[in-house]
Amino acid sequence: MRGAEVFRNDRAGAAGYAGLTVLAGNADLLRAINGKVASGRFLSADTEKFPTAVLGSAAASSLGIPKITAGRPAPQIYINRRWFTVIGTLEKTPLSPDIDRSVLVGWDAARSLLRFDGHPTVIYLKARESEIEAVRDVLPATINPELPGLVQISRPSDALAAKRATESTFSALFLGLAGVALLVGGIGVANTMVISVLERRREIGPRRALGANRGQFLTESVVLSGLGGLATAAYAAQQGWEPVIPLGSVTAGFGGAILIGMLAGVYPSLRAARLTPTEALATA
């Protein structure tokens, strides 16, 4: 509210002006800014019509009211030549630091006692992180359909921007690690199957004589890769780890394991298929 001046008491002169901002707020403001009450209570439907106030963390420190103590008379502050009872103080709000240096009063009390015109100057909106850009695109026309160009939408907080940058970096890192893991896993499956072909020549000979083809070892490599994925899932279930990966990603991962198993089993399968029955039995 423009022109609203906050003093610790009615005896403080111009030098005692706290320089704080007086804001009219609704009872659901804390939920929108992820704020928490440090002491006392927040504005509610029972108090919004009365001269009550809630102080931000910096405002409480500036006015010398660090906390509200139950059982003791509530402190009062002087706003525009009117006494307001302080019913609560807030913890720091990193997502909206302007609230820290603000004195919050009820919406109806601001209109009747502080000449508030009822038109909000700042609207705090909480949205899902994945929908922030979409919400920002429609907010101006939603808030002021006649003059959407007058609505200024602030960017997400620095904390959210840093979080997104960190998530992007970790995603790239995990993608690289996944690629290395797939490469190592494929080499391991291929090596296992090549050794299996060398060690099972006595078995391959009769099977080739009976008409077996390269599909046997290709199938074995696929099963080996699939069992590796199932073993990981079983271990996670045994440890009680809650699944946080979407089902689509799990399905894609299992499909990738099968594909790697197929690619890794191609060479061993071809090598086994080239063995004639007599050659396999002779070298066993």
Instruction: With H, G, I as helix, E, B as strand and everything else as coil, classify residue 21.
Output: strand
Q: How many CB atoms lie within 10 A of CB 126?
A: 11
**How many Cα neighbours within 13 Å face the side chain of 65?**
29
CA distances from residue 277 to 194, 207, 216, 266, 267 in whole angstroms, order as listed: 18, 8, 15, 20, 19
The residues facing 55 across adjacent strands are 89, 103
* Antiparallel, parallel or unpaired: β 6-7 and 52-55: unpaired
Cβ contacts of 165 within 8 Å, gap of 6 or more:
none
Q: Which residue has the tokens 């720091």?
A: 92
**Would you state the pLDDT for residue 266?**
67
- Asked if 90 contacts 35 with a C-beta cutoff of 8 angstroms, the reply is yes
**Would you state the pLDDT for residue 140?**
83
**Would you state the pLDDT for residue 178?**
73
How many Å apart are CA 257 and CA 185, to the nearest integer?
Answer: 9
How many Å apart are CA 26 and CA 107, to the nearest integer?
Answer: 6
CA distances from residue 115 to 3, 17, 236 in whole angstroms, order as listed: 10, 20, 61
Question: Is the whole model's pTM more than 0.75, yes or no?
Answer: no
- Asked if 39 contacts 103 with a C-beta cutoff of 8 angstroms, the reply is no
Closest by CA to 90, choosing from 65, 123, 116, 111, is 65
Written as six digits, the tokens of 228 are: 């590796």
Predicted confidence pLDDT, tens digits, the chain (284 residues): 666 788 887 776 665 566 788 998 888 888 888 889 999 999 988 888 899 999 999 999 888 898 888 888 889 998 888 899 999 999 998 878 888 989 999 988 888 888 888 788 888 877 777 777 787 788 888 877 887 777 777 765 566 667 777 777 877 887 788 778 777 777 776 677 667 666 666 666 666 666 665 565 567 666 766 676 677 667 667 777 666 666 666 677 667 667 766 676 666 666 666 666 666 566 55
**Would you state the pLDDT for residue 38?**
92
How many Å apart are CA 212 and CA 31, to the nearest integer?
Answer: 68
Cβ contacts of 241 within 8 Å, gap of 6 or more:
none
CA distances from residue 257 to 36, 88, 219, 233, 263 in whole angstroms, order as listed: 47, 57, 13, 13, 10
